[in-house]
Amino acid sequence: MTNLQQVDEAAVTAVRRACPDWCNVRHGISDGEEDWVHVSEPLAVADDVEARLCMSVDPNTEAEDGPYVVVGSREYSLTEAERLGASLIELAGRGAGPNHRGAA
């Protein structure tokens, strides 16, 4: 095993160790920064729109970026995603209230 292979093995091991339990990526297949990214299974939120958790961890510095919730092409912090979800639930609740008109 060459020194380069040992470094690569160490980086893959570091990425796997930092891998969150929701990650669905098979690490060690891609080279470089692409292998640092952790992505969840998709959640269908509307026709042709999916949401996923996403974050990256630099295997050398262990610096984390994320996690974020990516909906379509838009990226939200966890706090922003929670606020969006709460706002949608509130909006749907208002529509389903006693004075609503129409069917769900």
pLDDT for 53-75, tens place per residue?
999 888 788 888 999 999 999 99
- Percentage, residues of the chain above pLDDT 70: 77
Closest CA relative to residue 18, chosen from 69, 60, 77: 60
Confidence category of residue 35, pLDDT binned at 50, 70, 90: confident
- Percentage, residues of the chain above pLDDT 90: 46
pLDDT at 30 over 90: no
Neighbours of 53 (CB within 10 A): 21
Whether 8 and 34 have beta carbons less than 8 Å apart is answered as no
Average pLDDT (91-102) is: 79
Q: Write the Ramachandran bin of 60: left for phi over 0, alpha for psi from -120 to 50, otherwise beta.
A: alpha
Stretch among 13-17, 28-32, 42-46, 98-102 having the lowest mean pLDDT: 13-17
